[in-house]
Structure 1
Amino acid sequence: MTTVGVVGRDAEIAALDRLIGDVQRRGAAVLVRGEAGIGKSALLGLACGAAAGRGLRVLRATGVESEMTLPFAGLHQLVRPLFGRLPALPAPQRRALAAAFGMSDDAAPELFLIGLAALNLLSDSAADQPLVLVVDDAHWLDRPSADVLGFVARRLESEAVVLVAAQRDGFPPVLTGPTVEERHLERLDRRSAEEVLTRRAPQLDPVARGRLLDVAAGNPLALAELPLEGPEDDSGHLTLTARLEHAFAARLPGLPDVTRDLLLVAALEDEGALGESLAAASALRGERVTAEALVPAVEAGLVAADDGRLEFRHPLVRHAIRQQSTLPERQRAHLALARTLPEPDRQVWHRAAAADAPDDALAAELDEAGARALRRGGVPGAQAALERAARLSTDPTQRLRRYLRAAELAFEWGRPDVVDRLLQETTALDVPDRERIRMTVLRERSEEGIQGAGTRRLTEVAAAAAADGRTDQALLFLHAAALRCMWAGASDAARVRVLEVVEEALDPDDVLALEVIGYAAPLARGAVLHEQLRARAAGPLDPDRTIAAGMAASVIGDLPLSIALLGSAVAGLRADGRLGLLSRVLMVEAWDALVVGRFDLASAAADEAVRLAADTEQPLVRAIALVVQGAVSAVRGAGDVEERVAEAARLGLQVESNGVLAVVQLSRGMVALNQGRHEAAWDELARLSDPNDPSYHPVVHSFSVGDLVEAAVNSGHRTEVEPILADLEALAAVTPSAPLHLGLRYGRALLAPEDEAEERFDAALAADLSSWPFARARLQLAYGAWLRRQRRAAESRAPLRAARDALDALGAVAWGDRARQELRASGEQSRPRTPEARDQLSPQELLIAQLAVEGLTNREIGARLYLSHRTVGTHLHRIFPKLGITSRAALRTAIGQ
């Protein structure tokens, strides 16, 4: 990669050069961050040159502030050269992109289906010619485009694509995830700064040179631009960014009027199309303006023009032009743009920018533009349009309606600060009672986290909404309140109030109401919910109620039912692109499967939930899924446990969830028990029984009883555990929760006196354990060990063999070894466990293999898992040698299906 004109960036240049040079072997995503003028754009320019020099195809886009309200404007700019490949995409993906880009009248689908379509469009193109995607000023991308690029960036490893994005400091990172490399550009050291200055202004005398080095403080743009303004100025009180803007602005007065007009319309529109800027400048001046008008600006180092594009030397140039113009000048330029631009939505935004008084007709047009943006999936753009429409409205009713709708949209795209600002705008308005309910609801919903403090207020808002006949809203906020009960340790009084309002406001037979009750009182109402959910699940349920029933079944302990219901909903969620809900469903399915002992399912569901939680920004989902990953790894004898569990604990503290912390503690206890560290297991699990501990959670505590007793018996804490067991016995009288009852039966057998133990074990093993393979195997192991200790070696071997075989089949390595040790002590030898070929596969590889066995093509597998079909193919090429096979036809036998 050539470094002409770039000084002090050798490490960054070398890193990008390596990625671009390696693009045919592996893809990558890099986010370059730094302050204004630090050299981000120069580095991106070098990347473009290096890519072109290697024969790679370069696609470029630049985020522009004025287009942040236009959904998918940045993505459209980036992939527009690939539109000829759209017909080759699967029909749902082709329609998704067409809707997102306004190329059809269809409503835009879920954002992640658009992301998958963009990924496959890029992947297919890269198969013919590797791609380098370059995105400058990424902090100004519209939110939907940024979300799609983040989705793509996390899936490039198997693609011949390198994505390099640059953004300014002070903004949230546009690209995130474990596969995204971030590089922060620091200011140049003194030696490098001197070299830049020598190249730029070799004529400077030593005094002026030293002064400029001090003022520029290692900022490359300042070193390059400030010397042109001369050594004397009166800007000592300005920040460096302001000095640079001042330096660019100082070049404007010397330009011809026509050039300044052309620069102003270009600065206000930001699209970069030279033809559009020339047309608007012509309309502004009432005479034809040609590209000749740009020549003085190019000579002044303010812009560059090539291939029909007009690009500013730096974003600060654009800002300086705007700041140097007067309000009337900007208004006239906006109106000129509105008369000449082709798209109605861009026209109306420029007319709105020029408006200096309320205008109901214009407000109505903005309202319609917001509806179009929403139809295309552009929630931020719709919010901005409605906010501007509200400000232009003379009718108080319409103004209030638009402010409240804008606030709802701001909540939807995660901006509580904007919600608060918009609600403040309504304080001087005459707000009807019904709308006050909406305002209260929005304020409550916009509270970050799931802390229990807002539970009571959410419940009262729900009660008011129900009294006003707004049952759907009442359900929405009762659901939110109940979730806080479940995950954030609400008080008993708050739980009781949630139940009261549910019974007053909702249909008690509706599964959606049962889900709320389950979250609010999973143990106290467990018996009734168990019967009702089993009855509802026996009949037809729509997708949302199927998921609701599955979620409720999980919290009351009917885990086999939960797994069945949630598993049946996964395919539909995938097809609809509802990845936010899918990640939550997978998280619960993974937890259920872990507790039941279906470790393959737990591992696959948790692995996917972790990945999707990054796409959907759900820290609680990620935390629980990480816990499951860690626990499964421990059971299977892997060592990558504590890092995952520690990250889950950090996330639990971040969202202030005692539920997450409880699951972390249970996992740590399970891991210690699996490793035979009984004292450590007792220390971890005993915390779950202490109501004063931050990780106390009644449901999780009820799930821990069997592990707790086993840890106590083997570490000398029998006396301490007996009162805990007695308390849980009382709880078992009101709930049929299977994990609680299984754990109690196991605990009773372990604690029983010698003359009662066999009866206790027989009773525990007589229960229906067909859906609980891990619990059954551990019971058999404990029973066989007890028989051997009673000198009944011959009798002990049958349950020990059954335990060994079941534990081997489940992949519970340490437990299976323990069964072998007991068998050896009984006088019977066992062959070492033979690892299955499928044990060599990662969770994602195993899932891909299973889908391939079902007969799905690579494209179909990719569509289900939100991966490109080429990534699926890469995984299969890795899977075959791991399994010792050479074709898809051999997969079924290799993975035991």
Structure 2
Amino acid sequence: MPLFGRDTELKDLGALVDGPEDRSGMLIRGAAGIGKSALVDEAVAAAAIAGVRVLRTAGVEAEQNYAYAGLHRLLYPLRKQLDGLPPRQYYSLATALGLPDGGDEPTAYLVGLAALTLLADAAGERPLLIVAEDVHWLDPASAEVLAFVARRIDPEPIALIATLRDGVDSPLADAGLSLMGPEPLSDDHAAALLDLIAPELPAQTRHRLLAEAHGNPLALTELPSAVRDLDELPATLPLTERLERAFSARGTTLPAPTRTALLVAALNDSDSVTETLSAASILLGTQAGTEIFTPAVENRLLVLGRDTVTFRHPLMRSAFTTTATADERTRAHRALSDVLAAHPDRRAWQRAAAATGPDEQAARELENVAERARHRGGAVAALERAADLSGGPGLRADRLLRAAELAVDSGRRDTAERLVLAARALPTTPRHDATAAWLLSGFDDGVRENPSRITELAALAAAVAADGHPDAAMRILWGAAMRCFWSEPGPDTRPALLAVADELPIADDDPRLVAVSAYVAPFERGGRVIDRLRALASDTGRNPEVDRFLGSAALQVGAFDLAAHFSAAAAPGFRAAGQLGLLPRALTVQAWSLTRLGDLAAGAQAAAEAADFARETGQPFMHGLATAVQAEIAALRGDYPQAATLASDAERIGLAAGARPVLATVQLARGLAALGEGRYDDAFADLRRTHDPGDPSHSPALRAYFLAELTDAAIRAGQVDALRELLRGVEPAVASTPSPALHIGWRYAHALLATDTAEAHFTDALAVDLAAWPAERGRLHLSYGEWLRRQRRVVESRTHLRTAREIFDALGFTAWSERTRLELRSAGESSPNRDPDARDRLTPHELSIARLAAQGLTNREIGQRLYLSHRTVSTHLHRIFPKLGVSSRTDLAALLPADEDTTA
């Protein structure tokens, strides 16, 4: 049948199929019956003509609880190629697809990487079109994997077309696909379609059908056969419901046995004709054969394959489930459960659907389903349904909270909140109350909550510890401590948290306790924390979560060298395990610390990856913090327009809920840009805001680590008295903690403020070991050289200025390099132009790939590290080599020494 009124859509789909390497894909979104499937069929036909291979899957409402069901359908034709995957990817995908040699539950990201590799390999032989219809009904695991793939197929000869019903969400809606929204047919096109379908309709009926259909192609195609039933359908019903009613009315004319078989087919979570006939036979009390479907096929309700039975449209399927009585549905589900003895998970779901009240046996079977689930989304659904069937409120609360915990772990905030709310509505025990209280603390680290909540969590942690649950108390305390980073709870709350922490029966060197101390009291406990961090620094790489805790703790106390060390150690474990939700947290700490230390190339690389993964995994405030670091890097490199854009982006995120570290880093970036442009008053105003308790960018810890920038701005803006006042506010912290960042800034400030003793201050500051802090060493040499020149000690000044120039050139601090060159020129010495470093010619993403290639890793190994296909890596390397003027990995190794790598 020709398509009417879809010329533009067909042109766009044709272009996608003809050149999949130029476009990632299309999301066709529209109302039921608007013609999404018809457009897909045209694209598939065009692919056949163009020699493009097509792989298809579709969401099925009855399969939503079966993890990776949709992915299994998509990848089944490629099953023989699984053996070519790297081992970790193979076992992840084999587990997801339920193959016998699978392993433990994989993350959706590892499964996604395996699927991407498999698809990219297939596309290397022949361009590929992936079709995923009705993605609103895909099981969550498959939808997540397809969204992961969609974000990464730009460089591949792969295109993806997905269809999504209006008003329903899906991970694929945010996967970067171009949106196509077919509109209702125009009056002329609707009339032409109706005339083709039913040319003999009387004029009055034809006019009415056109009015009823509102340009919906499915309605125009199907309503003519149900025209006699239209008078029984209220005109106020939505078109979708009117169509369902029309389909169900068509079903009433069918023989009773056929209607029974249709109901079974509608409720079955498989299209197996054998299963449907077996269950129908139980209900009918006699053996049913395929001829039972003949009347439905003749009425254009079903398509009967050799081994399958499917409805022509999802609305036809739902028509038979919604119009059946509760007793009819119960009996059909029970019959299906009887024929699924060889499929325990499916049998459990059918048995649960047949339950009409509490059924503890069915609930326990669903708990077993949750234990076997290959994706936490499926486990959550099984436990939630088990809770519905529970015999008592205690069991129901237990199952709801277990489901909520899994939802938290998989990042499904809305689901977790709904489950916790349901559990709290039941009669619960103190244990239930405690569990419910801390479950949601992991989302956004409590940023969106009132700071007064921190005091409540402290009291709860104390109560839980008193009840003999120290680990649970520790988890609650950690959630409270994280809130102290993102927000400011007030002076009374922090001591209360410390008091609880001190009473916990947990070893003092427990990484969680070290991190809690750092977050809650970075100055008061700074010395103790730093001592423990140094003691633990040689024992990294065993547990990425421990390394992440310690990296975060190091950042809080201003030990940025240790923060970079621990967070770099955490990243490989998160990558290998596919824990992409935790990876951006480690990468952001790494980026923040490396940038403060002066390693802009590595910092930019980590920040870019952190921002991408934080956005993909739904962590807005980590994304904001990583973006703010990118703004800081742009300012230090002298790209002031880019710095302003990134700072504004980060500020929008931070202001949404008052995320103070994001806003403080934004002010740092703006202050650095203003310094570089010579706007010293603006620079001082920007940086001063972080010291104002009434300002949303005030961050008690971080503000103490920007003293050098604050001093530069204040001195040049003539704000010496204001600077001295701000330094007095920091003096108690200086006295209480050995924080490296704080003391480096403190010494620098006093060197610039000193008059008669300035030289002694500069000498003392430079005598400190700053090997790990090159940016600070460069700043000291620059300022000392400037001071010496002002003292007319020009020859001595040149030595320090040359050192500063070499440091800033090596670090890529463009603005600071230029400032140093001006000083040298004033001291009577010219400077050669700085040659761009190899790292400056690459984007952060390209630099990640180049560094790994320089270490000798293959394209596949690089892809595994960065969650890309090996073909994408190859494409990037073909761009990288000409940029750097090299032709081999050996040449890369000479330009990018292995000790600079930060992507491990």
TM-score, normalised by the number of residues in structure 1: 0.93
| Equivalent residue, structure 2, for 1:515 | 515
Letter in 2 for 1:689: H
Q: Deviations over 1:288-315 (max 9, x none)?
A: 4444443433343333344644443332
CA distance in 2, matches of 1:851, 1:146: 31
Does structure 1 conserve the Cα–Cα contact (< 8 Å) formed by 2:638 and 2:673? no
Find the residue that maps to 2:26 and give its secondary structure.
strand
CA distance in 2, matches of 1:704, 1:184: 50
Does structure 2 conserve the Cα–Cα contact (< 8 Å) formed by 1:450 and 1:488? no
Does structure 2 conserve the Cα–Cα contact (< 8 Å) formed by 1:550 and 1:561? yes
Whether 2:107 is the aligned partner of 1:110: answer yes
| Equivalent residue, structure 1, for 2:143 | 146
Please say which of residues 791-800 and 592-601 is displaced more in the overlay. Answer: 791-800
| Equivalent residue, structure 2, for 1:681 | 683
| Equivalent residue, structure 1, for 2:295 | 296
Query: Residues 38-437 of structure 1 correspond to what in structure 2 (within 5 A)?
Result: 38-104=34-100, 106-175=103-172, 179-203=176-200, 211-230=208-227, 232=231, 234-306=233-305, 308-341=307-340, 342-373=342-373, 376=374, 378-394=375-391, 397-415=394-412, 418-419=415-416, 421-423=418-420, 431-437=428-434
Letter in 2 for 1:352: A
Whether 2:15 is the aligned partner of 1:13: answer no
Cα 1:860–1:417 shift into 2, 3 Å: closer
Letter in 1 for 2:669: S
2:712 aligned to 699, 710, 716, which one? Answer: 710
| Equivalent residue, structure 2, for 1:881 | 882
CA distance in 2, matches of 1:234, 1:171: 26
Find the residue that maps to 2:81 and give its secondary structure.
helix
Q: Deviations over 1:629-669 (max 9, x none)?
A: 22223323445333332222222234442222222222222
What displacement does 1:559 show? Answer: 0.7
CA distance in 2, matches of 1:831, 1:619: 43
1:698 aligned to 697, 700, 707, which one? Answer: 700
What displacement does 1:511 show? Answer: 2.3
CA distance in 1, matches of 2:338, 2:578: 39
Find the residue that maps to 2:164 and give its secondary structure.
strand
What displacement does 1:177 show? Answer: 5.2
Letter in 2 for 1:94: Y
| Equivalent residue, structure 1, for 2:464 | 465
What displacement does 1:422 show? Answer: 4.3
| Equivalent residue, structure 2, for 1:648 | 650
What displacement does 1:503 show? Answer: 0.7
What displacement does 1:590 show? Answer: 0.3
CA distance in 1, matches of 2:61, 2:572: 38
Letter in 1 for 2:646: R
| Equivalent residue, structure 2, for 1:726 | 728
Please say which of residues 449-458 and 177-186 is displaced more in the overlay. Answer: 177-186
CA distance in 2, matches of 1:721, 1:483: 30
CA distance in 1, matches of 2:394, 2:708: 61
Find the residue that maps to 1:698 and give its secondary structure.
coil
What displacement does 1:350 show? Answer: 0.8
What displacement does 1:723 show? Answer: 0.9
What displacement does 1:436 show? Answer: 3.4
| Equivalent residue, structure 2, for 1:575 | 576
CA distance in 2, matches of 1:420, 1:761: 56
Does structure 1 conserve the Cα–Cα contact (< 8 Å) formed by 2:381 and 2:403? yes
Does structure 1 conserve the Cα–Cα contact (< 8 Å) formed by 2:778 and 2:803? yes
Does structure 2 conserve the Cα–Cα contact (< 8 Å) formed by 1:177 and 1:614? no
Letter in 1 for 2:817: G
Find the residue that maps to 1:820 and give its secondary structure.
helix
Does structure 1 conserve the Cα–Cα contact (< 8 Å) formed by 2:635 and 2:670? no
Task: Output the aligned Cα RMSD.
Answer: 2.6
| Equivalent residue, structure 2, for 1:536 | 536
Letter in 2 for 1:302: L
What displacement does 1:589 show? Answer: 0.3
Find the residue that maps to 1:733 and give its secondary structure.
helix
What displacement does 1:176 show? Answer: 5.4
CA distance in 1, matches of 2:314, 2:189: 24
Does structure 2 conserve the Cα–Cα contact (< 8 Å) formed by 1:444 and 1:457? no
Please say which of residues 713-722 and 843-852 is displaced more in the overlay. Answer: 713-722
What displacement does 1:44 show? Answer: 2.0
What displacement does 1:609 show? Answer: 1.0
What displacement does 1:542 show? Answer: 4.1
Cα 1:216–1:666 shift into 2, 3 Å: farther
Please say which of residues 473-482 and 165-174 is displaced more in the overlay. Answer: 165-174
CA distance in 2, matches of 1:362, 1:177: 37
| Equivalent residue, structure 2, for 1:658 | 660
Does structure 1 conserve the Cα–Cα contact (< 8 Å) formed by 2:447 and 2:486? no
What displacement does 1:791 show? Answer: 3.2
CA distance in 1, matches of 2:57, 2:771: 57
CA distance in 1, matches of 2:196, 2:786: 82
Find the residue that maps to 1:320 and give its secondary structure.
helix
CA distance in 1, matches of 2:302, 2:677: 66
Quick one: percent identity of the two aligned structures? 45
Letter in 1 for 2:320: I
Cα 1:805–1:210 shift into 2, 3 Å: farther
Find the residue that maps to 1:855 and give its secondary structure.
coil
Please say which of residues 196-205 and 836-845 is displaced more in the overlay. Answer: 196-205
Does structure 2 conserve the Cα–Cα contact (< 8 Å) formed by 1:283 and 1:340? no
Does structure 2 conserve the Cα–Cα contact (< 8 Å) formed by 1:511 and 1:536? no
Letter in 2 for 1:77: R
What displacement does 1:90 show? Answer: 1.4
CA distance in 2, matches of 1:294, 1:583: 54
Q: Deviations over 1:115-161 (max 9, x none)?
A: 21111111111111222111111112222212211211111122221
Please say which of residues 320-329 and 253-262 is displaced more in the overlay. Answer: 253-262
CA distance in 1, matches of 2:842, 2:734: 40
Letter in 1 for 2:764: A
| Equivalent residue, structure 2, for 1:791 | 792
Find the residue that maps to 1:498 and give its secondary structure.
helix
Stretches of structure 1 lacking an aligned partner (at least 5 in a row): none
Does structure 1 conserve the Cα–Cα contact (< 8 Å) formed by 2:209 and 2:223? yes
Find the residue that maps to 1:492 and give its secondary structure.
coil
Find the residue that maps to 1:319 and give its secondary structure.
helix
Does structure 1 conserve the Cα–Cα contact (< 8 Å) formed by 2:143 and 2:170? no
Find the residue that maps to 1:886 and give its secondary structure.
coil
CA distance in 2, matches of 1:569, 1:689: 32
Find the residue that maps to 1:507 and give its secondary structure.
coil
| Equivalent residue, structure 2, for 1:749 | 751
What displacement does 1:746 show? Answer: 2.4
Letter in 2 for 1:66: A
Please say which of residues 776-785 and 53-62 is displaced more in the overlay. Answer: 776-785
Cα 1:425–1:705 shift into 2, 3 Å: closer
Does structure 2 conserve the Cα–Cα contact (< 8 Å) formed by 1:63 and 1:136? yes
| Equivalent residue, structure 2, for 1:485 | 484
Does structure 2 conserve the Cα–Cα contact (< 8 Å) formed by 1:444 and 1:454? no
